[in-house]
Amino acid sequence: MLDGSGHAVRSEKQLLLYCARTCLDPYSAGRIRALAGGKLDWPYLLELAAEHCVLPLLYSKLKAVCSDKVPPQWTEQLLELFQQNTRRNLFLTAELLRILEAFRANGITAIPYKGPVLAEQAYGNLAYRQFADLDIVIRQRDVARAYELLTAQGYRSEVNARTVGQAAQGKIPGQYLFVGDARRSIVELHTEATLRYFPTPPDLEALSRRTEAVSVASREVLTFSGEDALPILCVHGSKHFWERLLWICDIAQLAHIPRGLDWEVALEQARRLGAERMTLLGLHLANGLLGAAVPDPILRPVQEDRVVRSLAAQVCRKFFRESSAAPGATQRFLFRARMRGNLWEGLSYVFRLATAPTEEDWSQVQLMGPLSPLYGVLRPFRLLRKYGTGWARDPAAGPAGSSRIEDVRES
């Protein structure tokens, strides 16, 4: 396999990609057997899988296809890690159900997503998706009450009560973060006001009307429909530059849900959110890297969108090269700007993100009353200090000529 720059891809990364695929066809199974039977750096492979949060997929595919090819010591290690993840997932699932019941009893409409509900909705098995926190969407008007309920249940808020009370003045964090005792559980509350990476604010009323029931630990839980979840997850993956393979796996798995997706409805929802290019990028990555079965008519716009192909190639180079340097401010700015439909939309999007202060900005400088607008002025300088300019090119990126995901190919 080549990485698009003419360099061979490490066997460990090839194996991880095949194990992360949704459909285990004969060819993929053969490649898994061949790669697992070769010379592998097993500590590096497990570290890589943990970094990309796909350890359960690695374990399950190796166990199903070639358990005889895995050295005994690494079989035991993989099993232990899989069981640890399963126990963690069960604990977090119990926490989610407890919190949802408290919200329901107090009249708070809550929609969980990612975490346990996505594991059941897209993967069909609570143990197969790795997650570390619980994400719940509520309405902004319910934040103060939710704050009280979670605090009463033993959670400590990372956002103080004063900030919660200042929401009416526009001082709204990126999310309302709560940490359980001994940091055993983390809950992130999101609202229509905190989901700032959506180009167009989501209509929670409309999303609530289209929720679907998912069986989680034998309980029915309402979450976003598959058609709404697809663009929502693609916005999340794009927000983080698709740096984890898990986020691409989520898209591939969602494309294969048993009931099937109404693709036209999903793309229409993406357009309403201003996230069509982000969604096409997620689908292109899932199809190109993990063989997700996306209908040709849905992927056809990708062939007409050079920017999507270029962004996908950038994501692939980041995965395949050995350097793991975080993108600098310049790369972040350009990537985000190109995720939108045209130059004006892109510049408007990144300008809003670059000047909308978050809790990190508030914690570094205390500005009162009439000086508060200066938070937006100071934020770009803080981002430059945090991420650096990023002008120096990473030598591990290889030649810049290729911008096609298809160039990540078999040799």
The range of the structural domain enclosing residue 269 comes to 2-325+394-409
At 54, which CATH number? Answer: 3.30.460.40
At 398 the pLDDT is: 43
At 260 the pLDDT is: 92
Enter the pTM of the model: 0.90
Other C-beta atoms lying within 10 Å of the C-beta of residue 7: 15
CA angle 394, 399, 404 (to 5 degrees): 110
Instruction: Tell me 128's DSSP state.
Output: G
- Domain assignment of residue 365, yes or no: no
At 173 the pLDDT is: 82
Note the pLDDT tens digit of each residue in 68-120: 999 999 999 999 999 999 999 999 999 999 999 999 999 999 999 999 999 99
SS3 of residue 321 by DSSP: coil
- Helix or strand (DSSP H, E) at 245: helix 245-254
Q: How far is the C-alpha of 125 from the C-alpha of 9, rounded, in Å?
A: 30
- Of 98, 136, 99, the C-alpha closest to 115 is 136
Token pair, residue 113, equals 């997503």
- Domain assignment of residue 152, yes or no: yes
Q: How far is the C-alpha of 262 from the C-alpha of 226, rounded, in Å?
A: 8
At 132 the pLDDT is: 92
**Pairing of the two strands 408-409 and 219-223:** unpaired
- Domain assignment of residue 369, yes or no: no
- Domain assignment of residue 340, yes or no: no
Q: Which residues of the chain have pLDDT under 50?
A: 2, 168, 392-403, 407-411
- Domain assignment of residue 218, yes or no: yes
- Domain assignment of residue 88, yes or no: yes
Q: How far is the C-alpha of 191 from the C-alpha of 208, rounded, in Å?
A: 13
125 φ, ψ to 5°? -160, 125
- Domain assignment of residue 299, yes or no: yes
Q: How far is the C-alpha of 361 from the C-alpha of 372, rounded, in Å?
A: 11
Domain count across the chain: 1
- Domain assignment of residue 348, yes or no: no
At 377 the pLDDT is: 81
Note the pLDDT tens digit of each residue in 293-321: 999 999 999 988 999 999 999 999 999 98
Instruction: List, as own/partner pairs, every contact residues 111-115 make where C-beta atoms lie below 8 angstroms and the sequence separation is at least 24, other chains included.
Output: 111/136, 111/137, 111/138, 111/204, 111/207, 111/208, 111/211, 111/222, 111/223, 111/224, 112/136, 112/137, 112/221, 112/223, 113/137, 113/223, 113/224, 113/229, 113/232, 114/233, 114/236, 114/250
At 376 the pLDDT is: 79
Q: How far is the C-alpha of 317 from the C-alpha of 310, rounded, in Å?
A: 11
CA angle 370, 376, 379 (to 5 degrees): 130
Q: How far is the C-alpha of 174 from the C-alpha of 44, rounded, in Å?
A: 34
Other C-beta atoms lying within 10 Å of the C-beta of residue 379: 20
